[in-house]
């Protein structure tokens, strides 16, 4: 019985057979596009790339037989010569009229093709792993940009709390350029590149050994290697001989080596044990598995007795690039009817545009060009263990950076970070700081410290009765312990005391550090320019500058006279008396309060004048001139009394020292000779003092008026003695404070400085200072920089007295004029009265004569 359900299937098969038959009878005509291939056909990389290109074009057109375009390769062999690459490119452009170029495989050869920017507008698919400086838009970088991994390397160094690295690069132009990129990446993480070593690829083992030996003495345990696989083999082999692949070292290798890790021999892999590397990541897929299987089969067909080492990453990138190029060529055919055009016409610009639009899933994952470069979402992090590399995580570039253990779940909190890494020496933890202190066989950090410090609260040495080992305490000792312990070096410290009694000075100690007899010196070491030429100092952990300490004044019964100078006292008294006279002169003629007996008038005048000092005058003034004079004088009194009160308060707090013709004590250990003149202390005599007892005795006995010393020494003195006895009266920022001294080039100086800065910010330094240098009895001035009080003199206030004196003189003058005018007016009246009286007398006599006559 016939199954009718099979009819549609049979009909479809028949139509397909007919279509294939017609196609066979009438073969389709294809549009052929010439593409140049420039490779070093004698190198292993060139052979692999060419084989992958051939496989890609075959696989592409097998999968797409209906496409109307075909790529025809025109191959040129450079034989490893950069100039040959340039010559081959010119030949392909001028004679063959190619529409695109694939290759060359080396960065040096690719740089030569950069000159075609204005001559050949065709895509050039380069295998260069470094960015092009000129950014020719036709130069397409199909290999992964190796600079993208430098941020990952910096992040790894920062992840393991390292702050210094040494970079080892190949001594080529590209190697030096890559070093610049790496330094920039490290600077973003505040990581210091202590040294960049450039080793030539032609260097023999002895030259590599000498270079590594030099690096070994730099006490930096983190190395970043960016060299070719062949040179990396020599570097790690010599490093192993020097013991630089042991515990504490950290080696990070870039993709320039790890991308070809499988191609290295077993001896090279053995020397790299514990190193961590970054390599290009190709996600697993069925297509990639088939491709690798096909490459393996071809390899064993050609070399049956040679082990298959895997597929070169350049081969995978070349395969995907050819797929993208063939896709772009077909799209041009579809959109512009390429078949109707002359094949000699340059379609490079259109082909470039289509290449930039291509987005396909290739063997290496997503293939897409952004700004002329392939994009990568992640890099694989491997740990060289056993016979090869063990994956420990990924660096996610697509999400802005970050380490994850599995790429499929990057957002999981448990997925953050890396798997356990087995470092050189077989350890799973690393402390490069500890190992760099053990370079040259040093197992302890040997430190010089004042054994019998003259200031015990600044520096003192103690012995643990259980271990009989010396320790450090005091302010400087506690600061050092807190900063050093925060670094977590895990290195034992050996404290070697030194004494001042044997005649040695701090400069002698600095000399011992310079000669590398000891690793460091801690204590009250003043930072100076000269000492900095021989050692590296940390940041200062004390106040900058020096101060002057003096004995507080023992107040006498006449201290109230001190605020004003003698000439000002005399002038003030004169003006009080003059004011009384002026007021009496103006008022006594008309004001009953200023009249009476002579004794009463004098008493009233003096009372009124001096009562203005406290504004207690009660006499009522009748003249406007008197009121004017008193108003001006009250203002003068206000200024005078206010200044007197302020100066007297200052004198009761701090002793005023005359800096002329006085004796000065200098702290004997610090280099204060330079700052002596800067304090303007002249015409005096000085003497060196060493201990706080010497300070107190010198000031108490009056042998010295003041002592110039580092502020920390003065704080120590004030903490040990009553603040009522001594005071810090002035400071001058003329020294750089105290710091710890380390050998030149020691990383400890920089790291300890960082910790000291942190301690200052979080208050730890202030707490330690309060612990050792602050007591309740130490009445230290809060404002050390405030100027010493100055007594008031007539010269400074002469303007006030001038105004008041002029007002009194004018009032007295106007009053005298009024008196004169009044007297003249009275005299005129008397004269007129006399005239009237005289006229009356004459009339009376005349009348008498008339009567007599009659």
Residue 36 pLDDT level (bands cut at 50, 70, 90): very high
DSSP for 63-109 reads H-TT-SEEEEEEEEE-TT-HHHHHHHHHHIIIII--SEEE--SSHHH
Average pLDDT over residues 192-208: 92
- For residues 245 and 189, the answer to whether their CB atoms sit within 8 Å is no
Highest mean pLDDT among 93-107, 289-303, 345-359, 753-767: 753-767
Residue 316 pLDDT level (bands cut at 50, 70, 90): very high
Average pLDDT over residues 550-562: 68
pLDDT at 47 over 70: yes
- For residues 699 and 726, the answer to whether their CB atoms sit within 8 Å is yes
Average pLDDT over residues 456-478: 77
HSE-up (13 A, CA, CB side) for residue 715? 20
DSSP 8-class letter at 432: H
- For residues 625 and 814, the answer to whether their CB atoms sit within 8 Å is yes
Residue-level pLDDT at 434:
54
Q: How would you classify the pairing of strands 741-743 and 520-521?
A: antiparallel
pLDDT at 658 over 70: no
When the pLDDT of each residue in the chain is averaged and rounded to a whole number, the result is: 79
Average pLDDT over residues 530-536: 91
Residue 336 pLDDT level (bands cut at 50, 70, 90): low
Residue-level pLDDT at 620:
74
Report which of residues 367 and 583 the model is more confident about. Answer: 367
Residue 736 pLDDT level (bands cut at 50, 70, 90): confident
Residue-level pLDDT at 732:
74
Return the percentage of the chain with pLDDT > 70, whole number.
79
Minimal CA–CA distance to 750: which of 572, 599, 538, 568? 538
For residue range 691-700, list pLDDT tens digits in order.
777 777 777 7
Report which of residues 764 and 852 the model is more confident about. Answer: 764
pLDDT at 273 over 90: yes
- In three-state form (DSSP H/G/I as H, E/B as E, the rest C), the secondary structure along 182-195 is HHHHHHHCCCEEEE
Beta-bridge partners for 192: 164
Average pLDDT over residues 825-850: 66
Q: At what angle do helices 205-216 and 229-241 cross, to 10 degrees?
A: 60
Residue-level pLDDT at 826:
72
Out of 118-122, 127-131, 318-322, least confident range: 118-122
pLDDT at 683 over 60: no
Report which of residues 846 and 673 the model is more confident about. Answer: 846
Could you tell me the end-to-end alpha-carbon distance of the chain, in angstroms, rounded to an integer? 207
Residue-level pLDDT at 750:
86
For residue range 624-647, list pLDDT tens digits in order.
887 888 888 888 888 888 888 887
Out of 52-56, 204-208, 283-287, 772-776, least confident range: 772-776
Return the percentage of the chain with pLDDT > 90, whole number.
23
């Amino acid at each position: 019985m016939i199954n009718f359900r099979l009819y549609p299937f049979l009909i479809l098969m028949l139509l397909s057979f007919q279509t294939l038959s017609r196609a066979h009878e009438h073969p389709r005509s294809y549009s052929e596009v010439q593409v140049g291939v420039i490779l070093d056909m004698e190198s292993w990389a060139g052979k692999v790339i060419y084989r992958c290109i051939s496989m890609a074009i075959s696989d592409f057109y097998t999968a797409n037989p209906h496409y109307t375009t075909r790529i025809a390769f025109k191959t040129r062999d450079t034989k490893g010569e950069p100039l040959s690459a340039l010559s081959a490119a010119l030949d392909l452009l001028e004679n063959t009229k190619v529409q695109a170029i694939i290759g060359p495989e080396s960065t040096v050869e690719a740089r030569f093709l950069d000159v075609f920017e204005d001559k050949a507008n065709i895509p050039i698919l380069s295998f260069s792993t470094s960015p092009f400086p000129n950014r020719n838009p036709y130069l397409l970088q199909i290999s992964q940009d190796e600079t993208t991994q430098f941020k990952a390397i910096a992040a790894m160094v920062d992840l393991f709390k390292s702050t210094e690295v040494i970079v080892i690069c190949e001594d080529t132009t590209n190697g030096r350029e890559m070093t610049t990129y790496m330094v920039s990446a490290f600077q973003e993480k505040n990581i210091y590149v202590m040294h960049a070593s450039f080793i030539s690829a032609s260097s023999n083992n002895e030259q590599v050994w000498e270079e590594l030996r030099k690096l070994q003495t730099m006490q930096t345990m983190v190395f970043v290697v960016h060299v070719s696989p062949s040179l990396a083999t020599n570097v790690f082999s010599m490093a192993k001989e020097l013991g630089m692949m042991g515990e504490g070292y950290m080696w990070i290798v870039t993709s320039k080596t790890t991308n070809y890790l499988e191609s290295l021999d077993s001896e090279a892999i053995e020397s790299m044990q514990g190193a961590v590397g970054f390599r290009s990541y190709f996600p697993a897929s069925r297509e990639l598995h088939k491709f690798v299987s096909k490459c393996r089969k071809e390899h064993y067909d050609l070399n049956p007795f040679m082990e298959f080492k895997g597929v070169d990453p350049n081969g995978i990138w070349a395969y995907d690039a050819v797929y993208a190029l063939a896709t772009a060529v077909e799209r041009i055919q579809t959109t512009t009817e390429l078949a109707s055009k002359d094949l000699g016409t340059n379609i490079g610009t259109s082909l470039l545009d289509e290449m930039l639009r291509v987005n396909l899933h290739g063997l290496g994952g997503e293939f897409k060009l952004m700004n002329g470069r392939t994009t990568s979402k992640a890099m694989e992090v491997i740990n060289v263990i056993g016979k090869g590399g063990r994956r420990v995580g990924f660096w996610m570039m697509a999400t802005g950076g970050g380490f994850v253990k599995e790429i499929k779940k990057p957002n999981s909190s448990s997925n953050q970070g890396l798997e356990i890494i087995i470092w050189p020496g077989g350890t799973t933890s690393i402390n490069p700081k500890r190992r760099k202190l053990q370079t040259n066989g040093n197992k302890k950090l040997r430190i010089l410290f004042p054994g019998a410090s003259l200031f015990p609260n600044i520096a003192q040495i103690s012995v643990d009765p259980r271990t009989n080992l010396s320790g450090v305490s005091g302010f400087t000792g506690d600061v050092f312990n807190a900063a050093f312990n925060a670094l977590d070096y895990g290195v034992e410290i050996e404290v070697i005391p030194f004494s001042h009694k044997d005649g040695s000075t701090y400069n002698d100690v600095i000399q011992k550090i310079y000669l590398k007899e000891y690793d460091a010196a801690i204590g009250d070491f003043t930072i100076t320019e000269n000492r900095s030429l021989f050692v590296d100092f940390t940041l200062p952990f004390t106040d900058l500058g020096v101060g002057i300490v003096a004995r507080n004044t023992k107040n006498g019964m006449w201290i109230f006279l001190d605020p004003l100078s003698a000439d000002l006292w005399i002038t003030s008294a004169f003006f009080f008396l003059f004011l009384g006279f002026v007021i009496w002169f103006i008022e006594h003629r008309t004001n009953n309060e200023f009249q009476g007996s002579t004794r009463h008038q004098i008493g009233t005048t003096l009372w009124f004048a001096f009562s203005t000092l406290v504004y207690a005058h009660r006499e009522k003034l009748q003249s406007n001139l008197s009121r004017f004079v008193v108003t001006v004088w009250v203002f003068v009194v206000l200024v005078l009394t206010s200044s007197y009160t302020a100066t007297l308060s200052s004198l009761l707090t701090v002793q005023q020292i005359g800096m002329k013709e006085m004796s000065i004590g200098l702290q004997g250990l610090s280099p204060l000779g330079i700052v002596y003149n800067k304090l303007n202390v002249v015409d005096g005599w000085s003497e060196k003092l060493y201990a706080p007892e010497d300070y107190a005795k010198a000031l108490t006995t009056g042998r010295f008026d003041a002592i110039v010393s580092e502020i920390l020494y003065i704080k120590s003195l004030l903490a040990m003695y009553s603040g009522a006895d001594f005071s810090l009266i002035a400071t001058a920022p003329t020294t750089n404070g105290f710091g710890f001294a380390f050998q030149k080039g020691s990383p400890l100086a920089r790291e300890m400085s960082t910790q000291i800065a942190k301690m200052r910010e979080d208050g730890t330094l202030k707490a330690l200072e309060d612990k050792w240098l602050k007591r309740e009895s130490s009445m230290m001035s809060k404002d050390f920089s405030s100027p010493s009080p100055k007594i008031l003199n007539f010269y400074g206030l002469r303007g006030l007295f001038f105004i008041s004196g002029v007002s009194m003189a004018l009032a007295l003058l106007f009053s005298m004029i009024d008196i004169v005018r009044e007297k003249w007016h009275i005299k005129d009246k008397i004269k007129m009265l006399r005239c009237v009286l005289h006229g009356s007398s004459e009339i009376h006599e005349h009348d008498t004569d008339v009567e007599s006559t009659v």
